[in-house]
Amino acid sequence: MNLNKDLFNLVVVAAAVAAVTAAGTSYLVLRYAPLGMGTGPVSADQARVEQITRDYLTKNPGVLVEMATELDKRQAAKQGAQQQNVISENADALFRSPLSHVAGNPNGDVSVVEFFDYNCPFCRRALPTVVKLVNDDGKVRLVLKELPILSDDSVAAAKLALASNKQGKYFEMHQKLLSEPGKANKEKALQVAEELGLDVDQLQKDAEDPDIKKALDEAKDLANKLNLKGTPLYLIGDRMVSGAPDDLFDQLKAKVAEIREKGCASTC
């Protein structure tokens, strides 16, 4: 159960009742008040109208559901429009940043951007799906955005993973950090690096490169602009999928096909 969603819907319903009651009261009082009546107290009429309105809504609760549904649609449309603007205005940083690693086909025709944290269980669950997408579709560009938001351990692992790019082992290290059990931290990242045959001393030096911090700062800034609430988040062109739903592969595949057929509504 989504408690935040349920609480939000209760607030919406309460607000709807108050709004409808107030609107009905204002309309009926103004409509039927005697001509010349001032703005003084109308408590008796107001109480009567409020009771009528409440009785109607109690007998017809579907009206409140329709109101809440319509509000959800309008808010989703507004949020979608805002996200489209953000994607268009930040297309270069999202899809073509030199600070981000690109897996799959660097010259592919559709870019899939993933924001992730190595200690995010949903990111770990989604890894096989993302790898399958890249392996099955040779024209997908996978743009990986390190967003270590869960802990300092995540930050340490992300810095070392980004540093491994200089030794040509980023995607391998990325997959091992997401797939092997245990917390991803500095010690785990160094262990993985050693298993992959990297120069561990050089890796730790490269992790302090200013470009590593720039990459992390850039991803964080983009996530804030997109109003990202958690990881993982996927941008398929200018379409969006959040979390790791059971049908993630089908959603990603469908949106890749949609971008190929229709292109992006905004710049991507």
Q: Domain check: are 109 and 46 in the same one?
A: no
Q: What are the C-alpha distances in Å from 3 to residues 6, 8, 11, 70, 76?
A: 5, 8, 12, 20, 19
Which region holds residue 108: left if phi is over 0, alpha if psi is between -120 and 50, else beta? beta
Task: Reply yes or no on whether the pLDDT at 37 is more than 60.
Answer: no
Residues 6+ apart with CB under 8 A from 148: 117, 118, 119, 154, 155, 157, 158, 216
Q: Count structural domains, the chain.
A: 2
Task: Give the Å distances, CA to CA, from 73 to 57, 63, 146, 195.
Answer: 21, 15, 31, 50
One domain for residues 167 and 222: yes
Residue 74 lies inside a defined structural domain of this protein = no
Whether residues 143 and 46 fall in one domain: no
Find the DSSP H helices in 164-209: 170-179, 186-195, 200-206
CA distance linking residue 268 with residue 83, whole number of Å: 12
Threshold 0.75, pTM exceeds: no
**What is the pLDDT, as a whole number, of residue 35?**
40
* Same domain assignment for residues 177 and 232: yes
Structural domain boundaries enclosing 48: 3-60
Could you read off the pLDDT of 196-252 as tens digits, one per residue?
Answer: 999 999 999 999 999 999 999 999 999 999 999 899 999 999 999 999 999 999 999
* Terminal Cα distance for the chain, rounded: 35
Same-domain status, 51 and 144: no
